[in-house]
Structure 1
Amino acid sequence: MMKLKGILLLFLPLFCLFLCGYDTFSQDTNTPELYLDPIFKVNYGDATADKPQSKSWTNDYGQWLVVGDEDGPKLLKKDGLGWASQSAVNRAWQTLPSRADVWNKGDEVHIVFVDECALNVVQMTYSKHRERYKQRRSRYLPMPTDCQTLETATITQDSKNQFWVCADMNEKIMVWHSFNGRVWSEPFALADDINNDDISLIVTLKGQVSVIWSNQNTQSINERIHMDGDDPDQWSEPIVVQEGDNNADDHLNATVFKNGQMAMATKNSVDIINQPQFVLRLRDKNGQWTNIPYENLRTERSPSRPIINHIEQGRIFEVHTVRNRVNNRYFISVNEIIRKGDGWEFKELIQLKTKINGKNGDVTSSKAGFLPDEPKLIFFSDDLGHIYSFDLDTLL
């Protein structure tokens, strides 16, 4: 059931959707289940929150994860005995905000930590001599004095090695810029008419940076583009990805392919039984979008918070939380997006479950695509502080 013919493993055919038509998604109801034990515990519920942040990365030095805790965020590393807290870094992180988004490149990691009306960017470098990360600097970003609320933020780096952070604040989409990752600009607004429930996402494409946000007031998903090397405040006019039919909600997550194309998983606000709750949005190299609704809301099954990632030159995975509307139990649905004829198939591969009765979810992964010869890890957490991990390699 989980093995695909070789042609489906190729990257190019997966994305002929940009030129071809599509059908609605189908789903297999005979899905295997797997109960997971926690890999770590913190004194902080929903430690892998929040949308649309990426909190893990894999490099030559191991597998890494940032989670929240009551006394500040925690950096975890996987070793031969499991996941271990990195005490030196974590001491330096005490009192920092706990919700994090990670940008990793080579030996350096930049992390934006998010709290209400506070953003802190930490820069770390891996010390090969000491075999651990060393914090080089920590900076709070300039924040307007009239800030009332800030839900989430994401960080990226463009081809000119300049850094960007975007966040929702006071019903606006705000962007901060840094030439070097040390000194940050005052924020400037890319949109000012959003709902207080909306969020944004910033991603690096070929030669440009894209900010995408939901606007539930106008029922739209929108984008603005900054070309690398232009003045920091020089952005395209707003681009409407899709508008109307309640297609906007505050759930966004994207994966970017080497050829410059992007796939984004989003939730809509339709909330009607037997109608799709999610939209797969595919952006070609020329900035043209294709929007495909999928994953129906069912009488017994309520899907939420989708993320998406891919194996370089290979398969595309979408993962989301499901609440059983009958018994109020939660599980994680792991799916593959497969080219099938003139359409696409959304194939549920496995359901990940835990032994607790409460909420679990907030699935997260890496910004970077998975390499074929490295672990392909996803993470989620429950409201009791347990953190769970699953390697997609077990499905390959």
Structure 2
Amino acid sequence: MTSRPNSKKNSPLFSFLLCVFLCCTGLYSQKKKTPEIYLTPIFKVNYSDSTADKPQSKSWTNDYGQWIVVGDKDGPKLLKKDTLGWTSHSTINRAWHNLPNRADVWIKDDDAYIVLVSECALSTVRITYSQEQETYEHLWKANLPIPKECNSIETATLTQDSKGQFWVCADMNEKIMVWHSFNGKDWSSPITITDDINADDISLIVSLKKQVSVIWSNQNTETINEVIHYDGDAINNWSAPIIIQKGNNNADDHINATVFKNGVLALVTKNSVDKINQPQFVLRLRDKKGKWTNIPYEPLNSEMSPSRPIINHVQSGRIFEIHSVKNKKNNRYYLSVNEIISKKGRWQFKELVQLKTKINGKNGDATTSKASFKENEVKFIFFSDDLGNIYSFDFDNLQ
């Protein structure tokens, strides 16, 4: 039996309606394109990647303005945002001439304590804000004791515990070490936390409630690790190592953290899996009792390679994650700004904007404040390129 020529299936009207339906369905299901913003530099230095390195926090906002410490060829530079844009603080910068140039900043009231890092050199400086002079004044600088056998230090971070005592943590050779000071100026000899890391591994020190936590990567053992010092204990009295995660190439030298008001710590790290369609990053949450939860995210694909994640949050609750992305087709870079959202126990990572520049070379090394963002203040992140340009973005500019 032959089919009827005017069958609904084969009618021109049916084909047209089917086409319209499929087109409309495709448009409806299409992923919304992430907005792109092209940024121009806020400042230029004679130093490549001047906002490095990964665990460090270089900027702060207070009642007196917005500030950042960046690296330069002849030492670190303090920049301030004013009516003319970002300008160099010449008096402070002269006092910092030829000091190590990569900084991590700890803010306490009107004081800024800063650890400065270069290969086999660690220094601390203290500046204080003079309300009479309406500017920061340099108070002192000090060098930390460095063992003679030092070959290299990649990075260092600084914190202060609830007793007012200061701690610096750094990788040196194949060791993780900490230094202690009662005043931020006079430092102990280094205390070895572990001596079995890869030369490529790094660490981070974070203040928690009545304790400080040292976290580090160990690519030799494929672990992310932690040790705890309880405030007031002897300076060499640390907990046994805690394994946050082990195996599956989960360790790499990319670590950054933020601490919430309720005592929960959020850590972002890169792993070494480096396989297409496999997550490159892990969000690691430490609850108030010290229990860790690991949440992989950001799969690697054939075109885009994500790297160097950092994290911060607004005190009202919003969590932001920022990382650099390399387009492997054209070798161009951009910063991906994401919001981390928890819904019914599930974590979502929503890309809000892509920050791009006009240069063809590398850019990245995102950094922000160690403190969380206040709701009624600007919320700056910064990054730099390999030509010495520095860029900034305020989260309040997000639509």
TM-score, normalisation: structure 1: 0.92
Instruction: Find 1:76's aligned residue among 70, 76, 79.
Output: 79
Instruction: Find 1:284's aligned residue among 275, 282, 287.
Output: 287
Instruction: Find 1:308's aligned residue among 311, 320, 325.
Output: 311
How many angstroms does 1:237 deviate by? 0.3
One-letter identity of the residue aligned with 2:166: F
Give the Cα separation in 2 of the matches to 1:359 and 1:28: 28
Deviation by residue 1:68-88 (Cα, 9 ceiling, x = unmatched):
111111000001111010000
How many angstroms does 1:342 deviate by? 3.5
Deviation by residue 1:13-63 (Cα, 9 ceiling, x = unmatched):
xxxxxxxxxxxxxx9662010000000001111110112110000111110
Rg larger in structure? 2
Q: Which residue of 2 aligns with 1:156?
A: 159
Give the Cα separation in 1 of the matches to 2:345 and 2:367: 31
Instruction: Find 2:219's aligned residue among 216, 219, 227.
Output: 216
Give the Cα separation in 2 of the matches to 1:233 and 1:253: 25
Give the Cα separation in 1 of the matches to 2:139 and 2:33: 50
Give the Cα separation in 2 of the matches to 1:226 and 1:167: 16
Give the Cα separation in 1 of the matches to 2:165 and 2:373: 24
Deviation by residue 1:302-332 (Cα, 9 ceiling, x = unmatched):
0000000000032000000000011100000
Q: Which residue of 1 aligns with 2:374?
A: 371
Percent same amino acid at aligned positions?
A: 70
Give the Cα separation in 2 of the matches to 1:126 and 1:214: 36
- Larger relative contact order, structure 1 or 2 (CA cutoff 8 Å, min sep 6): 1
Q: Which residue of 1 aligns with 2:14?
A: none
- Stretches of structure 1 that go unaligned for 5 or more consecutive residues are 1-26
- Stretches of structure 2 that go unaligned for 5 or more consecutive residues are 1-29
Q: Is the 8 A contact 2:76 2:97 kept in 1?
A: yes
One-letter identity of the residue aligned with 1:250: D
Pairs within 5 Å for 1:17-36: 30-36=33-39
TM-score, normalisation: structure 2: 0.92
Deviation by residue 1:159-183 (Cα, 9 ceiling, x = unmatched):
0000000000010000000011121
Give the Cα separation in 1 of the matches to 2:139 and 2:95: 11
One-letter identity of the residue aligned with 1:330: Y
Deviation by residue 1:231-288 (Cα, 9 ceiling, x = unmatched):
1111100000000000000000000011111100100000001100000000000000
Q: Which residue of 2 aligns with 1:62?
A: 65
Give the Cα separation in 2 of the matches to 1:272 and 1:71: 40
How many angstroms does 1:394 deviate by? 1.2
Deviation by residue 1:168-221 (Cα, 9 ceiling, x = unmatched):
001000000001112100001001100000000000001100000000000000
Q: Which residue of 2 aligns with 1:201?
A: 204
Q: Is the 8 A contact 1:208 1:225 kept in 2?
A: yes
Instruction: Find 1:348's aligned residue among 341, 346, 351.
Output: 351
Give the Cα separation in 1 of the matches to 2:48 and 2:302: 28
Pairs within 5 Å for 1:179-194: 179-194=182-197
Q: Which residue of 1 aligns with 2:172?
A: 169
Deviating beyond 4 angstroms after TM superposition, the runs of 4 or more aligned structure 1 residues are: none
Q: Which residue of 1 aligns with 2:96?
A: 93
Instruction: Find 2:251's aligned residue among 245, 248, 251.
Output: 248
Instruction: Find 2:269's aligned residue among 256, 266, 269.
Output: 266
Q: Which residue of 1 aligns with 2:21?
A: none
Q: Which residue of 2 aligns with 1:15?
A: none
Pairs within 5 Å for 1:96-107: 96-107=99-110
Q: Which residue of 2 aligns with 1:298?
A: 301
SS of 1:393's partner is helix
Q: Is the 8 A contact 1:100 1:111 kept in 2?
A: yes
Give the Cα separation in 2 of the matches to 1:149 and 1:352: 33
Give the Cα separation in 1 of the matches to 2:367 and 2:311: 9
